[in-house]
Amino acid sequence: MDSKIRSLVKKLTLEEKVSLCSGSDFWHTKEIERLQIPSVMVSDGPSGLRKQDPRSGIREVNNSIESVCFPAAVNLAASFDTDLVRTVGEAIGDECQAENVAAILAPGCNIKRSPLCGRNFEYYSEDPYLSGKTAAAYIKGVQSKGVGTSLKHFCANNQEFRRNSYDSRMDERTLREIYLKGFEIAVKESSPWTVMCAYNMVNGIQMSENKRLLTDILRKEWGFEGIVVSDWGAVRDRVKGIAAGLDLEMPGSGGTYDRLVIEAVRNKELAEEDLDACVERILDFVFKAAMNHDEGATWDKGKHHSLVRDIAGECMVLLKNENRVLPIKGSDYILLVGGFAKNPRYQGGGSSHIRSGNIDSLLIGYQWNSKLIYEEGFSALDDKYDKARFERAVAAARDVDKVIVFAGLPESYESEGYDRKHMDLPQVQNDLIDAIAAINRNVIVVLENGSPVTMPWADKVEGILETYLSGEGVGVATALALSGKVNPSGRLPETIPLRLEDNPSYLNFAGDSSVIDYREGIFVGYRYYSRKKMPVRFPFGHGLSYSTFSYGMMTTDADKMLDNETLEVTVDVINESDVPGKEVVQLYVEADIPNTRIRRAVRELKGFCKVFLDAHERKAVSFILDKSAFAYYDEELSDWYVEPGDYRIEICRNADEVIMYKTVTVTPKKPKKPVYDENSVYKDIMEDSRAARIAKPFYEKHLGSTEVFGEHPEDSLADMTIRSVVNLGFGDFSYEEMSELINRLNGRKED
């Protein structure tokens, strides 16, 4: 820490120090005039800047200035394009800089455990690698403008039900591999200025008091150097919080906790050094923000609006395109149906809600085809039936070439603060799609929603375009994608299951208790569906294009490696079509280790790269893989470990479809030494050649005892512990001899 900051802390009174550790109001840190410590402002995120209008009253926290609404987090993840995400981050950073906002309260990096989480639109993916890489790109973009970010909600905040208090319970491997991994990648790759601790508990400990996560893992293991800020109102006991590494309480609980902290320091319940450490970090943040503030900065609303229009199509996922029903041709006579064409859903609800003054509805954006009629069919604002409206739409569908239905979730269906009750679209929408598909073969469904919906009509329609929540340029961007002026190149950042009941968290999501057991463990999203060989509507990573891509040669620069080495993988991608487009090259790793005792997903995403290819162009794409591509979290070692063996490096179309692979053998530099005790079993000992040699005489003696071990002693012994063998051995072996054997198995030198 800067020595100037240290000496400044020495000049502060206890009361001043404590005061700095909470907000002065909803959005500001406190000022200390006598020492020229300024107050700085933070604002939400993530899909744009939600800054409270300075002219509004202290309680009018939702009265925001007008800013640009960018595509939601789910869209950014669907782009599979870290350059695009970074560009969005830069634009948001520009807005923050010009509006004198020190840090934006974004991005959210929580895992989509269930399609029902009310905030799924604000999160990236069911996959931690994609989440972490996308978050890192966003953070790099914003912070390149001298503005901080707040990586949130750390961690395991995966539902809105009892969101302030529930306890996410899971084993250490699940925590490390799934719920921490995205945060770990983002912290290590992009050094966010702040991390926001979540409302919930993790394994019984409130996140705002969780020393293990806030200090031992976040700071000591990952090297985080910024401040930990509480989610708004997430503090339960700030004395414990400060000791755990929580720096800034927001908004500030009207000073209630300040008094308690002062008392705790005076009574020596809280070490003053712990408080000082928080104050030093807060001052570092405040001065960094002040130093980086550019008084003359401006931003261009029109430019950012165009940016949204340009990029939104790149995040759209073309789920189905039978008989090349899309793109729409100029000669097609089209019926547009659905309230979403008029009142598009382009953002989610809650703290991320942007006050945008410039929303393109599809009808405004509709300049690509003059032969168009429109029937509302159903409203975008609710789920009510209107018989006359419904029937008019069906009747109009008879005489047109193609029908495009704009379906989606009404705003009230998904928001921060509550979870969805089911995964379905309003029934009126499903019924209307069915009715229209019964009379017109060329139906295209365009979806506007923040998280997956069931699609009972999927086999009856020709085209499905998932646009998620595209931001304020939604109408034009959708028109461009439908007409082929933009080639949609998004891929699903989550699985779309056939039905909610298939989701691995189904039996343990939300429910009636505050204790949420993450019983599915590491098998979240595609990790579960592929292991179970379960059919899904659309797999993770799926997405079509108006171009046709194929793959050429795949090479690796080695076929054997140690886990402290890296591996370069190169693959050729070819655009076989006349249509320029972007392909997402997806690299997964699959362990090919017979008899492994490690339960793993079939394959895991370990690399992706979006690449533009002109008509008939060919390009080589390379990836560098390191230990993290092969390792699992080993609870015995309390560390990441690469099981020795073969691994397939797979280039895939999506999580279910392998295009080509190469096998490499990976060996850990420091192989794990097995530890034996009286509960070690025969099979394990025999698999370790050194141990097998030592234990052979012991087992030979017992294998002869067919009376005890049956006709097939090898089989009956397989899972038997050393202790049981001794116990069943008619006193042939003593416990002393057993201890001697265990000592030798564990590595006495002469063995």
Applying CB under 6 A, among 30, 86, 152, 402 the residue interacting with ligand BGC is 152
Footprint of ligand BGC on 502-561 (CB under 6 A): none
Residue 376 in contact with ligand BGC, rule: CB under 6 A: no
Q: How far is the CB of 202 from ligand BGC (least distance, A)?
A: 16
In 3D space, the residue among 626, 331, 642, 312 whose CA is nearest the CA of residue 477 turns out to be: 312
- Cβ atoms of residues 543 and 575 within 8 Å: no
Residue 224 in contact with ligand BGC, rule: CB under 6 A: no
Q: Which amino acid is at 329?
A: K
Between 54 and 552, name the residue whose CB sits nearer to ligand BGC: 54
Task: Give 3-state DSSP helix, strand, coil % of the chain, rounded to 5.
Answer: 35, 20, 45
Between 134 and 467, name the residue whose CB sits nearer to ligand BGC: 134
- CB atoms inside a 10 Å sphere around CB 552: 12
Backbone φ, ψ for residue 128 (5° rounding): -70, -30
Residue 138 in contact with ligand BGC, rule: CB under 6 A: no
Pattern 648-687, ligand BGC, x by CB under 6 A = ----------------------------------------
Number of residues counted as binding ligand BGC (CB under 6 A): 6
- In sequence order, the β-bridge partners of residue 681 are 721
Q: How far is the CB of 206 from ligand BGC (least distance, A)?
A: 15
Residue 366 in contact with ligand BGC, rule: CB under 6 A: no
Residue 44 in contact with ligand BGC, rule: CB under 6 A: yes
Applying CB under 6 A, among 168, 351, 361, 654 the residue interacting with ligand BGC is 351
Q: How far is the CB of 142 from ligand BGC (least distance, A)?
A: 14
Residue 120 in contact with ligand BGC, rule: CB under 6 A: no
Applying CB under 6 A, among 124, 232, 413, 699 the residue interacting with ligand BGC is 232
401 is catalytic: no
Residue 88 in contact with ligand BGC, rule: CB under 6 A: no
Between 106 and 286, name the residue whose CB sits nearer to ligand BGC: 106
Between 119 and 281, name the residue whose CB sits nearer to ligand BGC: 119
Q: In Å, how far are 179, 194, 214, 243, 383 from 217, measured between CA atoms?
A: 13, 15, 6, 15, 46
Between 127 and 231, name the residue whose CB sits nearer to ligand BGC: 231
Q: Which two tokens stand for residue 750?
A: 């002469």
Q: Which residue has the tokens 């996410």?
A: 168
Q: Which helix (H) or strand (E) holds 395?
A: helix 387-396
Q: In Å, how far are 232, 255, 535, 577, 611 from 580, measured between CA atoms?
A: 46, 59, 32, 8, 11
Residue 52 in contact with ligand BGC, rule: CB under 6 A: no
Q: How far is the CB of 50 from ligand BGC (least distance, A)?
A: 8
- Is the backbone peptide bond immediately before 46 cis, with ω within 30 degrees of 0? yes
Burial of 697-707, coded b for 16+ CB within 10 Å and e otherwise, reads ebbeebbeeee
589 vs 225: CA distance, rounded Å: 32
Footprint of ligand BGC on 235-264 (CB under 6 A): none
Between 44 and 448, name the residue whose CB sits nearer to ligand BGC: 44
Between 101 and 571, name the residue whose CB sits nearer to ligand BGC: 101
Q: How far is the CB of 473 from ligand BGC (least distance, A)?
A: 24
Residue 209 in contact with ligand BGC, rule: CB under 6 A: no
* Torsion 213-216-222-228 (CA) sign: positive
Q: Is 231 left (phi over 0), alpha (psi -120 to 50) or beta?
A: beta
Q: How far is the CB of 326 from ligand BGC (least distance, A)?
A: 36
In 3D space, the residue among 568, 674, 667, 579 whose CA is nearest the CA of residue 620 turns out to be: 568
Which residues of 58-118 form beta strands (DSSP E)? Answer: 103-105
Residue 105 in contact with ligand BGC, rule: CB under 6 A: yes
- Cβ atoms of residues 27 and 52 within 8 Å: yes
375 vs 363: CA distance, rounded Å: 12
Between 112 and 491, name the residue whose CB sits nearer to ligand BGC: 112
Catalytic pick among 231, 284, 419, 563: 231
CA angle (499, 503, 504) in 5-degree steps: 155
Burial of 80 (0-12, 13-18, 19+ CB in 10 A): buried
Residue 231 in contact with ligand BGC, rule: CB under 6 A: yes
Q: How far is the CB of 20 from ligand BGC (least distance, A)?
A: 19
Q: Which residues contact 519 (CB under 8 A, 6 or more apart)?
A: 507, 508
Q: How far is the CB of 149 from ligand BGC (least distance, A)?
A: 11
Q: How far is the CB of 72 from ligand BGC (least distance, A)?
A: 14
Between 119 and 420, name the residue whose CB sits nearer to ligand BGC: 119
Residue 487 in contact with ligand BGC, rule: CB under 6 A: no
Query: Residue 730 gets which letter from DSSP?
Result: T
Residues that bind ligand BGC (CB under 6 A): 44, 105, 152, 231-232, 351
Provide the annotated active-site residues.
231
